[in-house]
Structure 1
Amino acid sequence: MAGNSNKRDQEIAERVLRHWHEAVPNDRMAHLVKDASRGFLRALQGRLAQHDVQLGHWSFLRILWERDGLTQRELTIEAGVMEPTTFTALRAMEKLGYVSLVQLPDNRKNLFVYLTPRGKNLKSVLIPLAEEVNAIALDGLSSADVATVRRALIVMISNLAQDAGAVL
């Protein structure tokens, strides 16, 4: 069964590549970025699954590894998702033993999220997987090309963050 899935995934990847090279070589940047993002996520998801970690938990873990003890609301904003998504993910992560959800006695309004030792230990296992995916994606690009793409994407992200027409 897994062989069929891998074959189908490869066929889809080849179709996407053919699309970019032949059908719409000058299509909008948003489509190109979206397909690149899908490729990154697909590659990462397969690696995370080998460690029983869901892709949906990845963003929250990454944020908490950098700054533990955020409120649920802060985590929602930093992850760029909706509150119900964060709530569902955090409950699942709590059941898996990755996080503890704490209401402080002097602040019953906010729910604070803390990594457990198990959640903290995932960092040393999962970060190398993400680095591997990045290395695969960047294979064949010079360091100058990588720097240019990084700069360009940061400018695009900044421009879009300042877009007055965007609806939150």
Structure 2
Amino acid sequence: MDSGAYLASQLAKGFARSLQQRAARLGFSPGQFPILLELWAEDGLTQKQLLARVDIEQATMANTLSRMERDGLIERRPHPSDKRAQLIFLTEKSRRMEKDAVEAAQQADLALFDGFKTFERELTLEYIRRLLENAKKL
């Protein structure tokens, strides 16, 4: 099929499968990875802040955070000044897995580019960035 959107969807699924195999050994899922990345960069965010940084629906975020809490990856604490909000913090377990999780994602990414020359990979990434910018305008 020659549809860019269809091919991008298939590519995302392929990456998720590749990451899933690596992530399962570490104790997280591909859907949790963007949230972990944000919390590794800045721990103690609210759900609203995470929503602004990770492009997923509110209900999906709530369900993912619940699973992450159940699995011991995050803990929620009361917000000091907003009684309706909670702050989301990494647990020691998820802090310890950062290096291995990032490495697993890098390995999954490299697997997608198997057989590509360096310039082909860089050019492909540039094209994808441009496509994503166009998608934001839609």
**Length-normalised TM-score, structure 2:** 0.90
Q: Distance in 1 between matches of 2:79 and 2:38?
A: 21
Find out whether 1:134 has 2:106 as its counterpart: no
Give 2:44's aligned amino acid: G
Partner of 1:103: 78
Structure 2 residue aligned with 1:81: 56
| Number of corresponding residues | 138
Kindly indicate whether structure 1 or structure 2 has the higher relative contact order, using CA contacts under 8 Å at least 6 residues apart: 2
For structure 2, the 5+ residue unaligned runs are: none
- Classify the secondary structure of the residue corresponding to 2:97: helix
The alignment yields a C-alpha RMSD, in angstroms, of: 1.5
What is the DSSP-based 3-state SS (H/G/I as helix, E as strand, rest coil) of the residue aligned with 1:109? coil
Shift of 1:105: 3.2
Q: Could you tell me how far 1:130 is from its partner in structure 2?
A: 1.0
Partner of 1:65: 40
Secondary structure in 1 matching 2:62: helix
Name structure 1 gaps, 5 residues minimum.
1-23, 164-168
Residue of structure 2 equivalent to 1:147: 122
Rg larger for: 1
Query: Shift in Å at residue 132 of structure 1?
Result: 1.1
2:84 match: secondary structure: strand
TM-score by length of 1: 0.75
1:161 Cα shift?
Answer: 0.9
Paired AA for residue 24 in structure 2: A
Match of 1:118 among 81, 87, 93: 93
Residue equivalent to 1:49: 24
Write out aligned runs for 1:9-48 (5 A).
24=1, 27-48=2-23
Over the matched positions of the two proteins, sequence identity in percent amounts to: 23
Query: What SS class does the counterpart of residue 58 from structure 1 fall into?
Result: helix
Hey, what's the Cα distance between the residues in 2 that align with 1:83 and 1:134? Answer: 27
In structure 1, how many angstroms separate the alpha carbons of the residues matched to 2:129 and 2:26? 31
Secondary structure (helix, strand or coil) at the match of 1:53 reads coil
Other structure's SS at 1:106 match: coil
Divergent runs of 4+, >3 A? none
